[in-house]
A and B are shown apart, each in its own frame.
Chain A
């Protein structure tokens, strides 16, 4: 991914920037410039309100990845999940700080700011959201 392309997405990747239809109050992530749900779409043009997701949600479905994508070799096996955010949008993200066997549908999670990937050893580092269990406190060794 080019530096500029990722940079354009920092609002949503860093801050879960979304948009809300002022008419039907549906929240969209990534933010949309127009509400596709309202019968008269054009009425929402230039009226969509920018907002920020709280970062809280529940695991809707998930998979455990054993064959890593490039750059994720050190994290195998890792969990990739569809997370239903409390505001409504469904996001895809990695579930971190948890044993894969402990991830279940309905698990409450919260967004965590993490390193997403690096463009090689000398390249730019991309950051953004992942998800971690909302409450956990394993006992210290």
Chain B
């Protein structure tokens, strides 16, 4: 799907301060955590404080985006938060975020859910609303505080963080020239209503799920745009671990150099709905005018959304110093023991609970 005159006006991210390593997790479960981390290409993952959730992470990320772009919150006509860890089953995350940034009451707001690609789906909806002239700015947020069951392979990767993108007609720091999606009914990962932890199909999450959707979606958008991997300076994939996106990139013909900024999971873990968006934010933190970027998100269940993006001259004067740059989030963090991590994540059964 071609897009005309729509792009990213501003962006911001938020990654909680605490980290835990696969080695620390493995010690508790009698597993070689170092080997597990090496297999997954994860050195550490972020952990939210007990007072952080998808609402607080979304708000902090969006506040950075608003400050960087000098956006008047009253110009935001739509706000969507994509997550699989909304704090309420009924009561929107988006309304709290909208109130906290001063965008209420003249806007439409809703929560999106599509496993890890709810944030990219929100970008597509904002693109449509901006293109049609319904709104001036649309906000798309991908944010999560996901959990893996104790001892499950997911526990080594499931982390917390979010990215907020303000979509508009201009001036844009990056033009979104096209978007394309690839969607099927593929039950590779799910969480039933009322269940605390998700379930997954083990190896089934690989070939028929992540790799099929990501590679087919990437091929589709490149075919539509008449481009090839070497036409892009950077590529960003959804990154449930550090290995899957590297392999998908190789399958498609991308190099490690093209993936170097977009791959953030090895340092902060899989931030689910935030993963591809934080990767894109890190690319934009480093990009220069004219850079061509391919983004391919993925959500279990399953689907992929791809975006063909061109960085504009506006990036040269855009304020990238406000807030915490993604690179700093990758290089910083306070380590936790598994005991404190378990306390923070509510994995300890308390008296009366």
Asked whether A114 lies within 8 Å of B51 as measured between CB atoms, the reply is: yes
Asked whether B56 lies within 8 Å of A127 as measured between CB atoms, the reply is: yes
Q: How far is the CB of B212 from chain A (nearest CB, A)?
A: 34
Residue of A nearest to B55 (CB): A127
Asked whether A15 lies within 8 Å of B44 as measured between CB atoms, the reply is: no
CA distance A15 to B73 in the complex (A): 12
Asked whether A15 lies within 8 Å of B332 as measured between CB atoms, the reply is: no
Question: 8 Å CB contacts to A: which residues of B314-332?
Answer: 328, 330-332
Partner of A116, one of B43, B51, B96, B334: B51
- Check A130/B100 contact, CB under 8 A, given A113-B63, A141-B21, A141-B333: no
Asked whether A15 lies within 8 Å of B102 as measured between CB atoms, the reply is: yes
Contacts of B334 in A (CB 8 A): 97, 138
CA distance A112 to B14 in the complex (A): 11
Partner of B17, one of A73, A97, A121: A97
Asked whether A115 lies within 8 Å of B19 as measured between CB atoms, the reply is: no
Residue of B nearest to A55 (CB): B63
- Check A140/B331 contact, CB under 8 A, given A112-B60, A115-B56, A127-B56: yes
Asked whether A140 lies within 8 Å of B52 as measured between CB atoms, the reply is: no
- Check A10/B56 contact, CB under 8 A, given A74-B50, A140-B44: no
Q: How far is the CB of B235 from chain A (nearest CB, A)?
A: 24
The prevalent SS among residues of A at the interface is mixed
| Interface membership of B244, Cβ < 8 A | no
Contacts of B331 in A (CB 8 A): 137, 139-140
| Interface membership of A86, Cβ < 8 A | no
Contacts of A10 in B (CB 8 A): 99
Counted as pairs of residues, one from A and one from B, with CB atoms less than 8 Å apart, the total is 75
Question: 8 Å CB contacts to A: which residues of B49-108?
Answer: 49-53, 55-56, 59-60, 63, 87-88, 91, 96, 99-100, 102
CA distance A96 to B133 in the complex (A): 42
Question: 8 Å CB contacts to B: which residues of A65-85?
Answer: 73-75
Asked whether B51 lies within 8 Å of A140 as measured between CB atoms, the reply is: no
Contacts of A114 in B (CB 8 A): 49, 51-52, 56
Residue of A nearest to B87 (CB): A125
| Interface membership of B344, Cβ < 8 A | yes
Residue of A nearest to B336 (CB): A141
| Interface membership of A6, Cβ < 8 A | no
Contacts of A137 in B (CB 8 A): 328, 331-332
| Interface membership of B335, Cβ < 8 A | yes
| Interface membership of B228, Cβ < 8 A | no
Residue of A nearest to B331 (CB): A140
Asked whether A140 lies within 8 Å of B100 as measured between CB atoms, the reply is: no
Asked whether B333 lies within 8 Å of A138 as measured between CB atoms, the reply is: yes
CA distance A125 to B55 in the complex (A): 10
CA distance A15 to B62 in the complex (A): 13
Residue of A nearest to B73 (CB): A15
Contacts of A14 in B (CB 8 A): 96, 99-100
Contacts of B332 in A (CB 8 A): 137-140
| Interface membership of B234, Cβ < 8 A | no
Asked whether A75 lies within 8 Å of B51 as measured between CB atoms, the reply is: yes
CA distance A73 to B52 in the complex (A): 15
Q: How far is the CB of B26 from chain A (nearest CB, A)?
A: 14
| Interface membership of B2, Cβ < 8 A | no
Residues 255-278 of chain B: 1 if any A CB is under 8 Å from the residue's CB, otherwise 0? 000000000000100000000000
CA distance A14 to B96 in the complex (A): 9
Asked whether A96 lies within 8 Å of B100 as measured between CB atoms, the reply is: no
| Interface membership of B343, Cβ < 8 A | yes
CA distance A141 to B334 in the complex (A): 7
Asked whether B328 lies within 8 Å of A130 as measured between CB atoms, the reply is: no
Residue of B nearest to A111 (CB): B63
Contacts of A124 in B (CB 8 A): 91
Question: 8 Å CB contacts to A: which residues of B260-308?
Answer: 267
Q: List 15 A-B contacts (CB under 8 A).
A: A97-B17, A113-B100, A114-B51, A114-B52, A115-B53, A115-B56, A121-B353, A125-B87, A127-B100, A138-B17, A138-B333, A140-B43, A140-B330, A140-B331, A141-B44
9 other A-B residue contacts (CB within 8 Å) besides A52-B102, A96-B49: A15-B100, A74-B50, A75-B50, A115-B53, A125-B87, A127-B59, A137-B332, A139-B331, A139-B332
Q: Which residues of B contact A (CB under 8 A)?
A: 17, 19-21, 43-44, 49-53, 55-56, 59-60, 63, 87-88, 91, 96, 99-100, 102, 267, 328, 330-335, 343-344, 346, 350, 353
